[in-house]
Amino acid sequence: MITPVILCGGSGTRLWPLSRKSYPKQFVPLVGDETLFQASAKRLSGTTDALSFAAPAVLTGSDFRFIVTEQLAAIGIDPGVILIEPEGRNTAPAILAAALHLMATDPEAIMIVAPSDHVVPDTEAFHAAISKGLAAVEAGKLVTFGIKPTHPETAYGYLELAAQPDTSGAAVDLKQFVEKPDTARAAEMVDAGTFMWNAGIFLFKAKDIIAAFAAHAPSLTKPVTDAIDAAQIDLGFLRLDPDAWAQAEDISIDYAVMERAANLAVVPFDGGWSDLGGWDAVWRDLGPDADGVVTSGDATAIECENSLLRSDSENLEIVGIGLKNVMAIAMNDAVLVADMSRAQDVKKAVAALKAKGSAQATMFPKDHRPWGWFESLVIGDRFQVKRIHVHPGAALSLQSHFHRSEHWIVVEGTARVTVDDEIKLVTENQSVYLPLGCVHRLENPGKVPMVLIEVQTGSYVGEDDIIRYEDIYYRGQGPKG
């Protein structure tokens, strides 16, 4: 039995504006109907002739915990444990925390660690590669997966193998890690045949990686162990202790352990892989047409070459005429237009937007909550108009506001509305007024989504103007709790 450990905390800034800190790329259907996270979870689930996967362990941040459960439930997967990181500390502390948790119940636990935002289209071939790695794991090796390069790529780190891989696909000892190269060096490594892209996917026994941390990164052991020992159960989630977690170094597993350990082996994999680390990677993965053009959503290309045109907003049409080597991604609050060769520089745009205080740098147009989501349609000096979507059976917290009153107009479904001591049903085309300071709650008692338009008026319409009195999701105070 192998326990998948899915790392689900990255922000994916190179895929801005679709991927943002408040709703990163792993939760977005970038290359199909399923999100990258859902595809990753499905790829590491079930039982085959050679493999059997336990329920996954997921590591994520507090803001994403309900998104994780919602997306797993949508594909019929029940997680084993969801570990909540109080803050992002990179992959080393996260992997050690997962190993310590698994080791507590199974001293011989085998874990496969995978990012939640990779694309691996050939699941059968990937399972075969995992099977190849199990022999090395039983011999006490820490196994990583190397991707056979398809082109000289400067955005990835590389793994240098100690020998040429053979046709069996068996694990090969690792000679060294190689940092991201320049174009000339990348071409040399591809030609050599002994260099693989570093996929950041690992397979090992929990006890072996814990021993590796003790040997090579002992300063991490105490804070991460303390964070696990003092963890609190919260609605089925396991919240790592924030004080102990804050003492752990912010460091990747490669730097902390893998580049120092001598017992590493690499399973070569050539079944197709992408980390979708930029819009150029999305363009390649979606399969350009004969002119090198990819369109997605409401997009039209006229006499274009080697370009990506993508609209990710309803009723927003993007049209390109005579474009060459251009990527253009449109959302209702931001548009990216760049030369395809500058895909890795998109993060510079995010940094520039942050520097000038633009909300678009980090905030996604839709704000996802455990009960559903909302999006702002219009914001003025003293008013805001929102569309609010509430899942069947879900409920917002019982709350009040200091600075605003609200009007709710139901446009789909039926709402159960509490206003102070009064509770009533509000159906389509009906509205209700919530005066300043009233204690109120919105619920969806039906079996279909409920949608309403909210008009806020007042001196301040920020999300932090909220006091929660009761909440079925046991959130605290603050914008998201």
Asked if 202 contacts 144 with a C-beta cutoff of 8 angstroms, the reply is yes
Tell me how far apart the alpha carbons of residues 318 and 239 are, in angstroms, rounded to a whole number. Answer: 43
Work out the number of other CB atoms within 10 angstroms of the CB of residue 290.
5
- pLDDT at position 479 is 72
Q: What is the mean pLDDT of the chain?
A: 93
Model confidence pLDDT, tens digit, residues 121-177 = 999 999 999 999 999 999 999 999 999 998 888 888 999 998 888 877 788 999 999
Is the pLDDT confidence value at 481 over 70? no
Model confidence pLDDT, tens digit, residues 426-450 = 999 999 999 999 999 999 999 999 9
Asked if 409 contacts 453 with a C-beta cutoff of 8 angstroms, the reply is yes
Local structure of residue 467 (DSSP, 8 states):
E
**Which residues neighbour 314 within 8 Å (Cβ) at sequence distance 6 or greater?**
none
What's the token pair of residue 390?
């509430």
Is the pLDDT confidence value at 387 over 70? yes
Q: Measure Cα distances from 12 to 5, 9, 22, 24, 30 in Å.
A: 19, 9, 11, 6, 12
Model confidence pLDDT, tens digit, residues 220-279 = 999 999 999 999 998 889 999 999 999 999 999 999 999 999 999 999 998 889 888 899
- pLDDT at position 366 is 86
**Which residues neighbour 211 within 8 Å (Cβ) at sequence distance 6 or greater?**
none
Question: Three-state SS for 107?
Answer: coil
Question: What is the percent of the chain with per-residue pLDDT over 90, rounded to a whole number?
Answer: 76
Q: Is beta strand 81-85 parallel, antiparallel or unpaired with respect to 237-239?
A: parallel
Question: No. of H helices and E strands in the chain?
Answer: 11, 28
> Which is nearest to 201 in space by CA: 44, 34, 12?
44
- pLDDT at position 473 is 87
Is the pLDDT confidence value at 10 over 80? no
Mean predicted confidence (pLDDT) in 86-106: 95
Token pair 């509205």: residue: 431
What's the token pair of residue 306?
């080697």
pTM: 0.88
- pLDDT at position 133 is 94
What's the token pair of residue 481?
């709790």
Query: Side chain identity at 135, as an amino acid letter?
Result: A
Is the pLDDT confidence value at 12 over 80? no
Structure confidence at residue 416 as a pLDDT band (50, 70, 90)? very high
Q: b/e for 188-203, b at 16 or more Cβ within 10 A? A: ebbeeebbbbbbbbbb
Is the pLDDT confidence value at 313 over 80? yes
- pLDDT at position 193 is 87
Asked if 90 contacts 251 with a C-beta cutoff of 8 angstroms, the reply is yes
Tell me how far apart the alpha carbons of residues 233 and 240 are, in angstroms, rounded to a whole number. Answer: 9
Structure confidence at residue 365 as a pLDDT band (50, 70, 90)? confident
List domains and CATH numbers for the chain: 2-269 (3.90.550.10), 279-354 (no CATH), 366-470 (2.60.120.10)
Mean predicted confidence (pLDDT) in 347-356: 94
> Which is nearest to 338 in space by CA: 325, 320, 353?
325
